[in-house]
A and B are shown apart, each in its own frame.
Chain A
Amino acid sequence: MKKITLIAATSCLILAGIFFTIKNRNTSTPDQTVSEKREETNQKKSTAPTQSQISATQDSAPKDVEQKKDTEDTSPKKSKRTYTREYTKEEKALVSTLLKRNSHFKNSDIEIMNIDKKTQRSSVVITSEHKGAKYSFSALIDNRTGKVLRTWGRTIMERRNPLIIE
Chain B
Amino acid sequence: MKFNLRSTKFIIAATIITMMMVSCVESPNTKRSDSSGISNTKSSVNAGYGRILQDNPIILSGNSNLDEDVNLAKLLKSNQDFITFNTQLKEPCILITDCIQVTEDYNIEPFTNSDNRWAFTPTTTEFLQVNTFGHINKITDAFHNNLLNHYNNIATPTIDPSLATSNYPTSLPISLFNSKGHWNPMRPLIAYADCDLSNNASFSPSTFELCMGYDLVFKDQVKFAQDNTVIYHEVGHGLVDIMMNMRNTAEYARTLADPLLDDFVIRSDLGYGTYDEAGSINEGLADYFSYYVNQRPHMGEWALGRFNNASRPLKEDDSIHASGIAVDENSRLSYPTYLAYNPNNVTLPSEDIHYAGQIFSHYLVALTEDIQSQCSISKANAIKTVSYVLTETLAELGDLTAKGNDFHSGTAINLNQDKSQVWISSVNPITYRKISQYMGKYLLNVVVNSTTGICSANAVSPTPSPLPYSKDDVESLLDQYGLLLFRTYNDNGNGKSGEEYSFSPSATAVDTLNRKRTELLSKSQLTLETRSDFNSFDIIDNQATLKSIIDSYLLQGKITGLSELTDSDLGFNNGNGKASPGEVVGIFVNLYNNSNSIMGGARVTAADWSHMENDQPCSNLSDAFPTTSQGGTACTTVTDANFDDSARYHPVCMMEYNDGSSTKILSQKEFFNQLKTDAGLLEKDCLDPNDTKTCMVRALQGAETQTVSMIKPKANWTETISKADGSPSFSAGNFMYFEINKNIPIGTKVTCRLRASYTNCDDCHHDSSNGYDDFRDWEYATEKPFNIINITFQVAD
A positions within 8 Å CB-CB of B: 1, 4-5, 8-9, 11-13, 15-16, 19-20, 23-25, 27-32, 34-39, 42, 52-61, 63-66, 68-69, 72-74, 76-82, 101-105, 108, 113-114, 116, 118-119, 123, 125-128, 130-140, 147-160, 162-166
* A-B contact sample (20 more), CB < 8 A, given A78-B104, A138-B205: A8-B7, A12-B18, A13-B18, A15-B19, A16-B18, A35-B134, A42-B85, A42-B92, A61-B96, A80-B107, A114-B263, A119-B262, A125-B206, A148-B561, A150-B266, A152-B206, A152-B421, A158-B200, A163-B545, A166-B730
A124 to B, closest residue via Cβ: B206
Q: Does chain A have a CB within 8 A of B97? A: yes
What are 15 residue pairs bridging A and B, where the CB atoms are less than 8 Å apart in the complex? A1-B4, A5-B7, A28-B80, A37-B141, A54-B94, A55-B148, A68-B47, A74-B113, A118-B262, A132-B198, A148-B560, A153-B205, A158-B234, A160-B274, A165-B730
Q: Chain A nearest CB: distance from B220 CB in Å?
A: 18
User: How far, in angstroms, from A136 to B198 measured CA to CA in the complex?
Assistant: 18
B14 interfacial by beta-carbon distance below 8 Å: yes
Contact A137 B556, beta carbon cutoff 8 Å? yes
Q: Which residue of B lies closest to A61 (CB)?
A: B97
Query: Number of B residues whose C-beta is below 8 Å from A?
Result: 132
A76 and B113 in contact, given A56-B144, A64-B87 (Cβ under 8 angstroms) = yes
How close is B719's CB to chain A, nearest CB, in angstroms? 17
Nearest CB in chain A: distance from B195 CB, A: 9
Of chain B, the residue at the smallest CB distance from A66 is B87
CB of A68 within 8 A of CB of B114, answer yes
Q: Which of B14-59 contact A (CB under 8 A)?
A: 14-15, 17-19, 21-22, 25, 27-30, 42, 46-49, 54
Select from chain A the residue with minimum beta-carbon distance to B11.
A8
Question: Which residues of the partner chain B approach A11 to less than 8 Å between Cβ atoms?
Answer: 11
A86 to B93, CA, bound (A): 30
Q: Is B106 an interface residue (CB 8 A)?
A: yes
Let me know if B336 is at the binding interface, CB within 8 A.
no
Task: Give the Cβ gap from A65 to chain B, nearest Cβ, in Å.
Answer: 4
- B702 contacts the other chain (CB 8 A): yes
Q: Is B443 an interface residue (CB 8 A)?
A: no
Q: Contacting B14 at CB < 8 Å: which of A9, A118, A156? A: A9
Distance in angstroms between the alpha carbons of A158 and B263 in the assembled complex: 32
Number of A-B contacts (CB under 8 A): 320
Contact among A4, A20, A81 for B7, CB-based, below 8 A = A4
Interface residue ranges of B45-102 to A (CB < 8 Å): 46-49, 54, 77, 79-87, 91-97
Report the stretch among B161-169, B546-554, B597-605, B780-788 that lies at the interface: B546-554
CA distance A8 to B586 in the complex (A): 88
Which residues of B sit under 8 angstroms from A27, Cβ to Cβ?
27, 29-30, 79-80
User: What 1/0 flags go to B115-151 for Cβ under 8 Å of A?
Assistant: 1110010000010000000100110011011001001
B147 (CB) vs chain A CBs: closest residue: A54
Q: Does B202 contact A (CB under 8 A)?
A: yes
Query: Would you call B92 and A153 a contact (CB within 8 A)?
Result: no
B86 close to A154 (CB less than 8 A): no
Nearest 10 interchain pairs by C-beta: A137-B557, A61-B97, A153-B206, A162-B731, A153-B205, A77-B112, A35-B82, A74-B115, A151-B557, A68-B115
Chain B residues whose CB sits within 8 angstroms of the CB of A79 once the complex forms: 108-109, 111-112
In the complex with contacts A102-B561, A150-B266, A15-B18 CB distance below 8 A: yes
Chain A residue contacts of B241, Cβ below 8 A: 153
Q: In the bound complex, do residue A152 and residue B81 qualify as a contact, i.e. CB atoms below 8 Å apart?
A: no
Which residues of chain B are within 8 angstroms of A135 by Cβ–Cβ distance?
A: 204, 555-557
Q: Is B310 an interface residue (CB 8 A)?
A: yes
Determine if A66 and B86 form an interchain contact, defined as CB atoms under 8 angstroms apart.
yes
B199 within 8 A of A: yes
Q: How far is the CA of A81 from the CA of B111 in the complex (A)?
A: 10
Cross-chain contact A23 with B22 (CB below 8 angstroms): yes
A29 to B557, CA, bound (A): 43
Separation of A15 and B308 alpha carbons in the complex (Å): 55
Alpha-carbon gap, A128 to B551, bound state (A): 11
Q: Assess the A24–B46 pair: CB atoms within 8 A.
A: yes
Given the interface pairs A152-B268, A162-B274, the reply to whether A23 lies near B556 with Cβ below 8 Å is no
Known: A8-B14, A66-B87, A150-B266. A28 touches B29 (CB 8 A): yes
Given contacts A28-B29, A74-B114, A155-B556, contact A64 B202 (CB under 8 A): no
Residue from A78, A148, A164 in contact with B108 in the complex, judged by beta carbons closer than 8 Å = A78
Closest residue of chain B to A119, judged by CB? B262
Mark each residue of chain B from 228 to 241: 1 if its CB lies under 8 Å from any CB of chain A, else 0: 00100110010001
- B713 contacts partner chain A, Cβ-Cβ < 8 Å: no
A152 touches B267 (CB 8 A): yes
- Contacting B82 at CB < 8 Å: which of A38, A119, A152? A38
- The smallest beta-carbon distance between A24 and chain B, in angstroms, is 5
Q: Does B733 count as interface, using CB distance less than 8 angstroms?
A: yes
Closest Cβ of chain B to A81, distance in Å, is 5
Nearest Cβ on chain A to B373's Cβ, whole angstroms: 23
Contact present for B552 and A156 (CB under 8 Å):
no
Residues of B within 8 A of A63 (CB): 84-86, 91-92
A12-B15, A23-B27 given; A159·B199 CB < 8 A: yes
Known contacts A123-B265, A130-B552; A165 and B115 CB within 8 A of each other: no
Q: Which residues of B contact A53 (CB under 8 A)?
A: 152
Over the window 412-441 of chain B, the binary record of Cβ atoms lying under 8 Å from chain A Cβ atoms (1 yes, 0 no) is: 000000000100000000000000000000
Q: A28-B80, A150-B560, A157-B200 are in contact. Are A138 and B206 (CB under 8 A)?
A: yes
| Contact of A163 (CB < 8 Å), options: B11, B266, B549 | B549
Complexed CA–CA distance, A164 and B548 (Å): 11
Q: Is the CB of B111 within 8 A of A154?
A: no
CB-CB under 8 A for A29 and B54, given A56-B148, A66-B86, A78-B108: yes
Given the complex, which residues of A lie within 8 Å of B198, measured CB to CB? 132
Complex contacts, B97 vs chain A, CB 8 Å: 60-61
Distance between Cα atoms of A101 and B120 in the complex (Å): 49
Chain A residue, CB-CB nearest to B248:
A152
In the assembled complex, the CB of A40 is this many whole angstroms from the nearest CB of chain B, namely: 10
What chain B residues lie within 8 Å of A8 (beta carbons)? 7, 10-11, 14
Give the Cβ gap from A45 to chain B, nearest Cβ, in Å. Answer: 10
Closest chain B residue to A1, Cβ basis: B7
A147 to B77, CA, bound (A): 55
Please tell me if the beta carbons of A104 and B555 are within 8 angstroms of each other in the complex. yes
Contacting pair A163 B137 (CB below 8 A):
no
Task: Specify which chain A residues have a CB less than 8 angstroms from the CB of B106 in the assembled complex.
Answer: 81, 134
Whether the pair A28, B269 counts as a contact (CB closer than 8 A) is: no
Instruction: Give min CB distance, A47 to chain B, whole Å.
Output: 12
State whether A101 touches B561 (Cβ < 8 A): yes
Q: How far is the CA of A159 from the CA of B354 in the complex (A)?
A: 9
Contacting pair B103 A81 (CB below 8 A): yes
Give every chain B residue within 8 A of A66 (Cβ-Cβ).
85-87, 114, 116
Inter-chain contacts of B554 with A (CB < 8 A): 102, 104
A72 touches B14 (CB 8 A): no
B621 within 8 Å of A by Cβ? Answer: no
Cβ B731 vs Cβ A163 within 8 A: yes
With an 8 A cutoff between CB atoms, is B795 at the interface?
A: no
B271 touching A156 by the CB < 8 A rule?
Answer: yes
Contact B141 A151 (CB under 8 A): no
Q: Cβ of B197: which chain A residues have Cβ within 8 Å of it?
A: 132-134
Q: How far is the CA of A60 from the CA of B46 in the complex (A)?
A: 24
Measured between beta carbons, the chain A residues less than 8 angstroms from B186 are 113
What CA separation (Å) do A34 and B138 show in the bound complex? 6
Q: Is A80 touching B108 in the complex (CB atoms < 8 A)?
A: yes
Q: How far is the CB of B380 from chain A (nearest CB, A)?
A: 10
Given known A128-B555, A155-B204, A160-B274, contact A165–B92 (CB-CB < 8 A)? no
Cβ distance A101 to chain B, nearest Cβ, rounded Å: 7
Give the residue name and chain of the B residue nearest to A165 (CB). Answer: B730
Q: Which of B83, B151, B202, B271 contacts A133, CB < 8 Å?
A: B202
Q: Report whether B731 and A64 are in contact in the complex, using a CB–CB cutoff of 8 Å.
A: no
Check B80 against A139 for contact (C-beta < 8 Å).
no
CB distance from B502 to the nearest CB of A (A): 24
Residue of B nearest to A54 (CB): B177
Which of B46, B77, B126, B702 is within 8 Å of A76, CB to CB? B126
Distance, CA A121 to CA B435, complexed state (A): 32
